[in-house]
Amino acid sequence: MTRVNVPIEMNEDLYDKMQELCEELGLDMDTAIGIFAQKMVNEEGMPFEVTEKDLPVDEEAERRAKRLKTAGIIGAIAALIGLVTGILLAVRSLKEHRR
């Protein structure tokens, strides 16, 4: 059977941990991934339950999301400061007109 090369991209820390675990099990990563692929085909789906913590982490996407959240909070605070400033100016104006 013809073999194909399947490039896989993952974060470096995950790669290092998988490499170490494979070595402890006496496997290379190609064999481990091949076993996983065969098991997935045999099971006609994921051979185990996948939870949110199992999903790969995209650190850059997480940083962007945090920056957007921070920008949103800063924008809300700025709007609140503008609102409070407007109220204070209106109160001051009313007080000056009463004099």
**Mean pLDDT over residues 2-17, rounded?**
88
Q: Give percent above pLDDT 70 in the chain.
A: 94
| Confidence (pLDDT) at 41 | 93
Q: Are 62 and 98 in the same domain?
A: yes
Q: Are 65 and 89 in the same domain?
A: yes
Q: Encode the chain in three state secondary structure.
A: CCCCCCCCCCCHHHHHHHHHHHHHHCCCHHHHHHHHHHHHHHHCCCCCCCCHHHCCCCHHHHHHHHHHHHHHHHHHHHHHHHHHHHHHHHHHHHHHHHC
pLDDT tens for each residue of 21-75: 999 999 999 999 999 999 999 989 988 887 877 777 666 667 777 787 888 888 8
Q: Are 67 and 97 in the same domain?
A: yes
Q: Are 28 and 9 in the same domain?
A: yes
Residue 37 structural domain: 1-51
The model's pTM: 0.52
